[in-house]
């Protein structure tokens, strides 16, 4: 690496053109807007005006691994900036240096970024660090244009594993293009792991009856996505639930006799040897498509275990022991494939005496989705047993249409804080699609951003709403008018106008029949409160007209938020209709009006679904809304 060091030193002496174009300003670290917030920033009272052309000089033993970041930077700079590995380019005027030096501090993902009168230089020990330094520089360019503040940044992550898990099994399976676009955005926020929560939506050969109507992800899709992720320093982790949440398999006659309770199929019967044979077949088909060292086998919420075919074994050995024995069988399969097993920790934590018996190479995923959920107690149980664990908050987008802002901010922040305190090595931000996955993807951007911010730097002021909304405008929605961040927040905060229900919102359940009856939902709720929610979402949609997004999908985003806002409004109107009916007032006219608007909204919902997602699952998702439509008509 001596050659690299010499080139760098020489370039510092010759690169004086930047300084000639500089100015001065009064700026502090509080004036910078970066996601995530870097660990150390030193801002100087000068600016550096970027020229229109120059070289982005890659100095690395593996220059091809830095090329994507260099190309992204060239695109952000505009003009005529050319990535090159030529040492001569470092001696020309106006170079930007990307220096990969194994002796650099702060680990493989840490980096230093220097903007001073003599040069712009990013230094890191590994290509991932260079990429993250480039992403920080690009954010500075997006914020400040061609006149950058002179500064130095030293940065590194709190959590080695910083992931997002997207549910692709509760009806909505995104297109490959949608997944790649999401990976691009997440990588720029320094996320380094991506999972697709899978129950039945992979194209398993020989199991066509299970996925035929689901438009599944194919092996070819995964191979392409895995390569795309690796190029962006993201590990695509395979994910297949393997115990509970198997109803999409067990409902078919070909698999029903594997269920713990065949009359209400949900969990595999662990006492049936054919259960592990099925899972072994799935693993053998799925895993060859992934380069990841990890594998998430799920195994959460096995609520019916011991209530059916394994009842006798559970009474004799205990439910926890039967659960653990099956988990150990899965671990054996995972190990045979050379992977490291991840599993949801919600069941084993109910049997803390068994935690020490877990294999020492497993990773327990401690999940909880409330703003007040305490991760620390269960994290401490795993830490005491020497079991590695990650904290897993959520985006709070599901069961809501438009999200739940307070939860989306404070649940990940608490997870990061308590995870660090107890020794968690990973942070997995979950984005579920329960009960039809009715929220459109941009609803989750807020949750993704908060998770990315606090998993990299848990000590930063990640709860600052004003800065979060500004960052959403700039780095997520690309809105030059500075509107969309506020729109997303106001929509996602509308649920606070009435009392809350666990992990969901009242307007959602008023429109999607299921968990609660209207009498339960509306106890203590007034017409005025429902009107306040309606006014809130309508006001946000009106404000959205002022947005000036430069994203290619700008109009789609507006339509998606407007559709989800309409669903919230309709849920509230259904609630008002119930209150009026119980008060003895006529509701026929309003009932018909709601039905008419809901029918139109379902048509729009279908159109928007197909813009980012495959058709499989749409029928099931729409059916939940159509059930309410039928109720209104009758």
For the stretch 336-341, contacts whose Cβ atoms lie closer than 8 Å and that sit 24 or more positions apart, written own/partner, are 337/283, 337/284, 337/287, 337/295, 338/293, 339/238, 339/287, 339/292, 339/293, 339/294, 339/295, 340/293, 340/294, 340/295, 341/294, 341/295, 341/297
Rounded CA-CA distance 622/619 in Å is: 5
Give residues with Cβ within 8 angstroms of 31, minimum separation 6: 43, 149
Buried b (16+ CB within 10 A) or exposed e, 378-395: bbebbbebebbbbbbbbb
Q: What are phi and psi of 240, to 5 degrees?
A: -145, 110
Tokens representing 253 are 């006659």
Rounded CA-CA distance 55/422 in Å is: 45
Q: Which helix (H) or strand (E) holds 193?
A: strand 193-197
Give residues with Cβ within 8 angstroms of 164, minimum separation 6: 186, 191, 193, 194, 195, 428, 429, 430, 431, 448, 451
Q: Residue 374 burial (CB < 10 Å; 0-12/13-18/19+)?
A: exposed
Q: Residue 88 burial (CB < 10 Å; 0-12/13-18/19+)?
A: exposed
Tokens representing 102 are 């194994």
Q: How far apart are the first and last CA of the chain?
A: 77
- CB of 135 within 8 A of CB of 166? no
Give residues with Cβ within 8 angstroms of 64, minimum separation 6: none
Give residues with Cβ within 8 angstroms of 426, minimum separation 6: 159, 160, 161, 162, 163, 193, 363, 389, 390, 391
Integer CA distances (angstroms), 80 to 50, 53, 583, in order:
12, 4, 70
pLDDT tens digits for range 475-497: 999 999 999 999 999 999 999 99
Integer CA distances (angstroms), 49 to 74, 94, 487, in order:
16, 11, 33
Rounded CA-CA distance 552/175 in Å is: 17
Nearest to 564, CA basis, from 401, 436, 400:
401
- CB of 187 within 8 A of CB of 475? no
Tokens representing 18 are 């930047």
Pairing of strands 40-49, 80-84: unpaired
For the chain, give every residue range classified as CATH 3.20.20.80: 161-463
Give residues with Cβ within 8 angstroms of 78, minimum separation 6: 52
- CB of 562 within 8 A of CB of 531? no
Cα 532 to chain centroid, rounded:
30
* CATH placement of domain 2-155: 3.30.379.10
Rounded CA-CA distance 580/549 in Å is: 41
- DSSP secondary structure letters along 157-181: -S-SEEEEEEE-SSS--B-HHHHHH
pLDDT averaged over 10-residue windows placed end to end, the chain, 634 residues = 33 36 64 96 92 96 97 96 96 92 96 92 98 98 95 98 98 98 98 98 98 97 98 98 98 98 98 98 98 98 98 98 98 98 97 97 98 97 97 98 98 98 98 98 98 98 97 98 98 94 96 92 97 98 98 98 98 98 97 98 98 98 98 93
Q: What are phi and psi of 47, to 5 degrees?
A: -120, 165
Tokens representing 357 are 């018996």
Tell me 97's DSSP state: E
pLDDT of residue 500: 84
Query: From the CB of residue 449, how many other CB atoms can be counted at a distance below 10 Å?
Result: 27
CATH architecture label of 161-463 = Alpha-Beta Barrel (3.20)
SS3 for 24? strand
Omega before 36 cis (within 30°)? Answer: yes
Tokens representing 294 are 């990890």
pLDDT tens digits for range 404-455: 999 999 999 999 999 999 999 999 999 999 999 999 999 999 999 999 999 9
Nearest to 140, CA basis, from 45, 32, 49, 39:
32
For the chain, give every residue range classified as CATH 3.30.379.10: 2-155
Q: Tell me the three-class secondary structure of 295-337, residue by residue.
A: EECCCCCCCCCCCCCCHHHHHHHCHHHHHHHHHHHHHHHHHHC
Angle at 558 between CA 555 and CA 559, to 5 degrees: 85
Q: In what order do the strands lie in the sheet with 363-367?
A: 235-237, 193-197, 161-167, 426-431, 388-392, 363-367, 340-344, 294-296
Alpha helices in 423-471 (DSSP H): 445-456, 465-471
Q: At what angle do helices 484-493 and 554-582 cross, to 10 degrees?
A: 20
Give residues with Cβ within 8 angstroms of 510, minimum separation 6: 518, 521, 522, 571, 572, 574, 575, 578
Angle at 531 between CA 405 and CA 624, to 5 degrees: 70
Alpha helices in 197-269 (DSSP H): 208-211, 219-231, 247-250
């Amino acid at each position: 690496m001596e050659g690299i060091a010499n080139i760098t030193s020489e370039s510092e002496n010759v690169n004086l053109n930047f300084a000639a174009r500089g100015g001065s300003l009064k700026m502090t670290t509080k004036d910078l807007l970066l996601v995530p917030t870097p660990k150390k920033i030193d801002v100087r009272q000068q600016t550096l005006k970027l020229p229109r052309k120059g070289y982005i000089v890659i100095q690395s033993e593996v220059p091809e691994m830095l090329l994507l970041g260099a190309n992204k930077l060239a695109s952000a700079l505009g003009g005529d900036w050319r990535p090159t590995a030529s040492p001569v380019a470092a001696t020309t005027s106006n170079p930007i240096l990307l220096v990969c030096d194994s002796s650099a501090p702060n680990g493989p993902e840490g980096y230093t970024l220097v903007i001073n009168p003599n040069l712009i230089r990013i230094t890191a020990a590994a290509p991932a660090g260079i990429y993250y330094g480039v992403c920080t520089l690009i954010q500075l360019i997006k914020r400040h244009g061609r006149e950058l503040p002179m500064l130095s940044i030293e940065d590194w992550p709190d959590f080695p594993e910083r992931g997002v898990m997207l549910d692709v099994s509760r009806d909505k399976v995104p297109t490959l293009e949608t997944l790649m676009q999401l990976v691009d955005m997440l990588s720029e926020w320094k996320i380094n792991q991506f999972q697709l929560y899978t129950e039945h939506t992979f194209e398993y050969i020989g199991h066509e009856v299970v996925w035929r109507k689901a438009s599944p992800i194919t092996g070819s899709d995964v191979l392409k996505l895995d390569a795309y992720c690796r190029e962006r320093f993201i590990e695509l982790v395979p994910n297949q639930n393997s115990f509970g949440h198997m109803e999409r398999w067990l409902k078919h006659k070909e698999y029903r006799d594997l269920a713990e309770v065949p009359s209400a199929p949900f969990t595999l019967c662990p006492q049936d040897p054919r259960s592990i044979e099925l899972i072994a077949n799935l693993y053998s088909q799925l895993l060859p498509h992934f380069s990841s060292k990890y594998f998430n086998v799920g195994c959460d919420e096995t609520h019916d275990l011991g209530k059916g075919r394994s009842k006798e074994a559970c009474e004799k050995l205990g439910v926890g022991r039967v659960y653990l024995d099956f988990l150990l069988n899965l671990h054996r399969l995972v190990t045979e494939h050379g992977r490291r097993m991840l599993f949801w920790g919600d069941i084993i934590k109910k049997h803390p005496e068994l935690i020490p018996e877990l294999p020492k190479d497993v990773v327990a995923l401690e999940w909880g989705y409330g703003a007040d959920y305490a991760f620390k107690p269960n994290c401490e149980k795993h830490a005491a047993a020497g079991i590695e664990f990650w904290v897993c908050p959520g985006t709070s987008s599901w069961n809501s249409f438009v999200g739940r802002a307070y939860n989306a901010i404070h649940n990940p922040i608490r997870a990061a804080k308590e995870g660090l305190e107890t020794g968690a090595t990973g942070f997995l931000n979950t984005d579920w699609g329960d009960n039809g996955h009715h929220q459109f993807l941009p609803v989750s951007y807020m949750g993704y951003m908060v998770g990315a911010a606090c998993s990299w730097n848990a000590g930063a002021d990640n709860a600052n709403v004003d800065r979060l909304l500004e960052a959403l405008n700039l780095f997520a929605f690309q809105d030059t008018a500075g509107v969309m961040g506020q729109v997303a927040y106001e929509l996602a905060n509308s649920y606070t106008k009435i009392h809350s229900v666990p992990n969901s919102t009242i307007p959602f359940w008023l429109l999607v029949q299921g968990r609660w009856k209207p009498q339960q939902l509306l106890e203590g709720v007034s017409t005025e409160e429902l009107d306040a929610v309606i006014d809130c979402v309508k006001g946000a949609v009106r404000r959205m007209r002022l947005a000036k997004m430069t994203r290619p999908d700008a109009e789609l985003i507006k339509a998606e938020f407007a559709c989800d806002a309409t669903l919230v409004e309709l849920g509230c109107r259904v609630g008002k209709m119930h209150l009026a009916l119980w008060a003895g007032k006529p509701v026929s006219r309003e009932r018909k009006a709601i039905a008419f608007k809901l029918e139109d909204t379902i048509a729009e919902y279908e159109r928007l679904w197909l813009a980012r997602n495959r058709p499989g699952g749409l029928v099931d998702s729409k059916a939940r809304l159509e059930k309410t439509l039928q109720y209104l008509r009758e």
